[in-house]
Amino acid sequence: MAQLQGRGRAPIVGINVTPMVDVVLVLLVIMMVSATYIVAQSLKVELPKTATSDESVPSIAKVTLTRERKTLFDEQEVTEGELVAKLRAAHGQNAETSLVLSADQDVPHGSVVHVIDLAKLEGIAKFAIHVERSQ
């Protein structure tokens, strides 16, 4: 008789997916909330202004650091003292001057930071590091 009781049950034909859908929706809401928090914590970027605006176009000071440890300002070789003077003059002509720094990949990180520091001491607060996109 014990065998008849076990066979009397009907087999499970379908799976109830309602709990799975509830879990997926809760996970989706958690990911959406955390994604907006991550975006809010990202870097603040100052967008460039267009050339057609009423404001003047900011000037750009280009500094290049070569593998041979040479420093170039607008493609002319300069010493550190000359670089400081040229950065000061560029900032004096236009307070919105931006520094674009190009450095060979073999140049020590400290040299790049030193040039950025020199520019900041002369009042240039906006700078960019020029890189090439790898393919």
On the question of pLDDT at 119 being above 80, the answer is yes
Amino acid at 43: L
What the chain holds in terms of domains, given with CATH numbers, is 60-130 (3.30.420.270)
Task: Output the pTM of the full model.
Answer: 0.55
Mean pLDDT of the chain: 79
Averaged pLDDT, 93-110: 86
Give the containing element (helix H, strand E) for 130.
strand 126-130
* 5 vs 18: CA distance, rounded Å: 30
> pLDDT by residue (tens digit) across 45-72?
455 555 555 555 567 888 988 888 889 8
Residue 105, phi then psi, degrees to nearest 5? -65, -15
Cα–Cα distance measured from residue 66 to residue 104, given in angstroms and rounded to the nearest whole number = 5
Round to whole Å and give the CA distance between 116 and 120: 6
